Structure 1
Amino acid sequence: MKRVVLLGGGYVTLHAYGALARRLRGELRRGEVEIVVISADTVHNFHGFTGEVVAGLLPIGLTQTPLTEAMPRARVLHARVTRVDLVTRTVQFEGGELAYDALVVGTGGREPLDGVDGLDGTGLTLRGPGDLSDLLQRVRVVDGPVVVVGGGLAGVELAAALAARTAPVVLVQSADRVVPALHTEQPRLAARCTAELARLGVDVRTGVRVASVDDGSVTLSDGSVVRTHVVLATTGQRAVALPGLESLPRDERGRLVTTRDLLVAPDVWSAGDAASVAHPRTGVPVTANALWAIKAGDQVGRNVARAVQGRAGRPFRYLGLGQAASFGVGRGVADLYGIPLTGWVAWLMRVGFFLRFMPSRSRALQVPGELVRRSRAGRAPSRVAVPR
């Protein structure tokens, strides 16, 4: 029996599993192949609707699918991986060790918190197991503003979502404006993002950095202090480093450099936030977001299946679709193949896309009704000024 081991419980693992289950259906049924998933989390967290969950438009349970439900033909081990041995072809984890014939590294990335004094251990992120639940709990019980560090598209969307649930929000962006990349590519959409933040009363502070964080305040580089007990970091990500893979080529962000067919070592594949995947046309590393992880995960699964069957892998050929963000029901921005969209069109396109890729059909079917019901209940946007 050949064993395929998938590390992590995110998009790469889920979609690699899907391709494997389809292409190795006979081998799995006959017991010739085993798929094992090792993840520190017990659920797949669908991050597409994180903004809606934070805003109170969706219950968190609709965005979480147990890994055993999402990947029924896999053996799921709930454990943290401690080491990968490329020589003995084994994966060591808390409580055991497992040999592999094919390995997929889909362990993702985490926001780097060690660059700001006090942020590591105090700041919240949304990429680790239980992170979103922790944020929701903190926002419910803490009286005061939430400081969001990072003004990219994800940070802007989350700042708006927090403000929509009536929490005062301070958004700190080191550049001179929010969503700087979008300003270059789609200035109309960037202007709409700025307008939505103003509509929701978000206190946007650009051109400053977070200098230090303690249990009750955030000090900025201009000397101002924000009294808060909730700090959310949306500063990008650094690949999770697995012991034993240090010898493999990495880029400046710590991501494993892949070949065109997504290999990083013999019989080891990677994609998503853990990997530096070259765009098939430009050669530039693709953006670290859900869509690229989904499409690359699909290709990893197809190539692993081909390897199990003794065939060569094929290059990753996906060219991209665009990006989108939501600022409440009917309010969205989207860049679809370079075409800027706003309002209901952008919002409906985004919702439809995410519904298509949710791993649980039953949960996906509940999403539209919840959005309608909760949006009708209404949530007054916060316009509370935060003292500087």
Structure 2
Amino acid sequence: MRLVSDMTQRIVVLGGGFAGVTTAQELARELRKQKRLARSPRDDRRFGPAWLRFGRREDRSDGAAANHGVEASRRVAVTLINRENYFVFQPLLADIISGAIETTHVVVPLRRMLRDVEVEVGYVEEIDTDRRRVQVQRRQSSERFWVDYDALVIALGSITDFRGVPGMAEYAIGVRTLGDAFYLRNRALSMLEDAATEPDPERRRALLTFVVVGGGSTGVEVAAELEDLVRTAARTFPSGIEPRVVLVHSRPYVLPEFGKRLGVYATRRLREAGVEMILGRRLTRVDVDRVTLDDRTTIPTATVVGTVGNAPHPVAARLAGATDERGWIRPDPTFAVPGLERVWALGDCASIVDPRTGGPMPATAQHAIREGPHAARNILAALDGQPQTPFDYAQVGMLVSLGRFRGVGEVFGVRVSGFLAWFLWRSYYLLRLPSLERRLRVALDWTLELFLAHDVVEINLRRTRTRPGEDPGELPGEPVAAGSRPDARDEIVISS
């Protein structure tokens, strides 16, 4: 599939996370500056008033000249392929759970962010490095097509790995996508509704118990926000229900990467906020109504949230000769993948060696937003026959929210905690949001949060049933539309 002239070179970016988006943005910016960017006619669309446009301010004449006055062989088109048509600001997913931020305020349409970049929505199924092409499947029609490339950027991220604990894959909830956060929020509120009318005290206690597995930054933030949500929602019930959030961690304190002092502080503040801590223990099994720990004790629960375990993206792991023994791509210091011509890898799907420590760099947004622009410049240098430069970045610090007005972190080697850490956490991520519009919306959400109670509405996303029988996502007892047919398809698919 080629949407531009066969003479034009195409750079294909796989993945719409921090690494992929920042790579595509920098590629478009540099190519526009050089008046070499090949644009599709449909990229002329603009969204919103000029003062709210996304990305950096650039001269429109440069972009307009990109398709004129430059020999076709030097033009370069940029295509980004992602399974969704939006970018998710991952660090704020936990705020979706508690309702501190509106769901749509942490997502930005990719076509708004990526001016002059062709965005294709679908599932990446295969990378053919011999023929320099990528197979993509469309989400609705399941149509498969190939996208040719002259340079390929693999930034597919990672997937949740639940294989370490039996039953985790069947009964636990991950917190990786916008859908995960929204589902967990609805699940928690639904459990409160069921518990309010449950006559069996043991069953009632299980419904009101929420187990979070993992004491890293994600587990800590999810536990804090989930505690805030269920406590706020519980006050709206006249029966006085008592929800319980339990965090299970294998270490003596949470956030071990911050050191003992801040880890102990974070553990104490979570306890004070109402989170029950079970430390020095591991899960050995997850069942539909309980979890079992390594000391053989059990915790009756109907909701388990897994925040531990990452695995390489399956498509990236299948690249023969380019991965380590665990399946992670091992690029060189310039992000180029040894043994694969004109292929670069970065972000969570790659194990990038830190030249300062010799170990892998952290898979964080802070690193990804710096890897992307550097990789983009190296790719353009390679296409022009110029030398590439190795990547080197020293982490500025880390910050974690512990709920309202509480945080912990380290910035430029200085350890901070309490309100200051919480304020720095919010300020940093507010400034990192990809558009002025989103910054204004999130800032307004956080300001209103200081004076107004969180929203505790469970929003049902199931559509009206059009056929008898129970399908995934439906609940027994939901009415079926009049005139429904047993042979009706659950999804409306337009075939080509």
Do these two structures clear the TM 0.5 threshold for a shared fold by scoring above it? yes
1:39 lines up with 2:70 in the alignment:
no
Distance 1:138 1:57, change over 3 A: same
2:392 aligns with 317
* Higher strand content, 1 or 2: 1
Please state whether the residue corresponding to 2:168 is helix, strand or coil.
coil
Distance in structure 1 (CA, Å) of the matches to 2:325 and 2:394:
23
Judge conservation of contact 1:329–1:371 (CA < 8 Å) in 2: no
The answer to whether the aligner puts 1:6 opposite 2:49 as a matched pair is no
SS of the residue aligned with 1:37? Answer: strand
Name the aligned partner's letter for residue 169 of structure 1.
Answer: V
- Distance, in Å, in 2 between the alignment partners of 1:262 and 1:369 is 39
Partner SS for 1:4: strand
1:222 aligns with 2:295: yes
Tell me, in whole angstroms, the C-alpha distance in 2 between the residues paired with 1:305 and 1:138: 47
Contact 1:86–1:244 under 8 Å retained in 2: no
Q: Structure 2 length as normaliser, TM-score?
A: 0.72
Distance 1:198 1:129, change over 3 A: closer
1:286, 1:244 → 2: CA distance?
Answer: 19
Q: Secondary structure at the match of 1:226?
A: strand
| 3-state DSSP of counterpart to 1:146 | strand
Equivalent position amino acid for 1:116 in 2: V
Q: CA-to-partner distance for each residue in 1:324-359, whole Å, 9 max, x for gaps?
A: 101234321121122101223222222222122212
1:372: Cα distance to partner? 1.6
**What are the ranges of 5 or more consecutive residues in structure 2 without an aligned counterpart?**
1-7, 38-62, 68-74, 138-143, 193-207, 232-242, 455-496
1:296 pairs with 2:371: yes
Q: Kindly indicate whether residue 248 of structure 2 is the aligned counterpart of residue 177 of structure 1.
A: no
Which position in structure 2 is the counterpart of 1:385? none
Equivalent position amino acid for 2:123 in 1: R
- The one of 132, 149, 152 equivalent to 2:213 is 149
Residue 118 in structure 1 maps to residue 167 in structure 2? yes
| Per-residue deviation, 1:22 | 1.2
Q: Tell me, in whole angstroms, the C-alpha distance in 2 between the residues paired with 1:113 and 1:272.
A: 21
SS in structure 2 opposite 1:368?
helix
- Superposed, 1:12-51 pairs within 5 Å as 12-25=19-32, 26-28=35-37, 29=63, 30-31=66-67, 32-51=75-94
1:253 Cα offset (Å): 4.3
2: distance between equivalents of 1:378 and 1:133? 18
Call closer, same or farther: CA 1:150–1:253 in 2, change over 3 Å: farther
Name the structure 2 match of 1:107.
156
**Contact 1:333–1:346 (CA<8 Å) still a contact in 2?**
yes
**Alpha-carbon distance between aligned partners in 2 of 1:67 and 1:57, rounded to the nearest angstrom:** 24
Question: For the residues of structure 1 that align with 2:397 and 2:321, how far apart are their CA atoms?
Answer: 30
Q: Does 1:62 align with 2:137?
A: no
- Give deviations 1:119-153, integer Å, cap 9, x for gaps: 11322212246222222221221232221111112
Q: TM-score, normalised by structure 1?
A: 0.91
Instruction: State the Cα distance separating 1:245 from its structure 2 match.
Output: 4.0
Cα pair distance change 1:180/1:273, threshold 3 Å? same
Deviations 1:208-261 (A, max 9, x none): 222222322222222222232322111142221216843234345432111111
**Structure 1 unmatched runs, 5+:** 380-388
- Rounded to whole Å, the distance in 1 between the matches of 2:80 and 2:321 is 22
- The answer on whether the counterparts of 2:94 and 2:181 sit within 8 Å (CA) in structure 1 is no
The higher radius of gyration belongs to 2
SS in 1 for 2:184: helix
**CA-based RMSD:** 2.0
Q: Deviations over 1:32-64 (max 9, x none)?
A: 221111111222110122232222211121101
Give 2:414's aligned amino acid: I
- 162-171 or 267-276: bigger deviation: 162-171
Instruction: Flag the structure with more relative contact order, 1 or 2, with Cα contacts below 8 A and sequence separation at least 6.
Output: 1
Give aligned pairs, total. 377
1:326 — aligned with what? Answer: 401
Alpha-carbon distance between aligned partners in 1 of 2:451 and 2:355, rounded to the nearest angstrom: 44
Instruction: Report the identity percentage.
Output: 32
Question: Could you tell me which of 126, 135, 145 is aligned with 1:96?
Answer: 145
Aligned AA (1:5) = V
**Are 1:173 and 1:208, in contact at CA under 8 Å, matched by a contact in 2?**
yes
For 1:162, the equivalent position in structure 2 comes to 226
Paired with 1:51 and 1:21, the residues of 2 have a C-alpha distance of: 31
CA-to-aligned-CA distance 1:17-37 (integer Å, 9 cap, x gap): 121111111211424221111
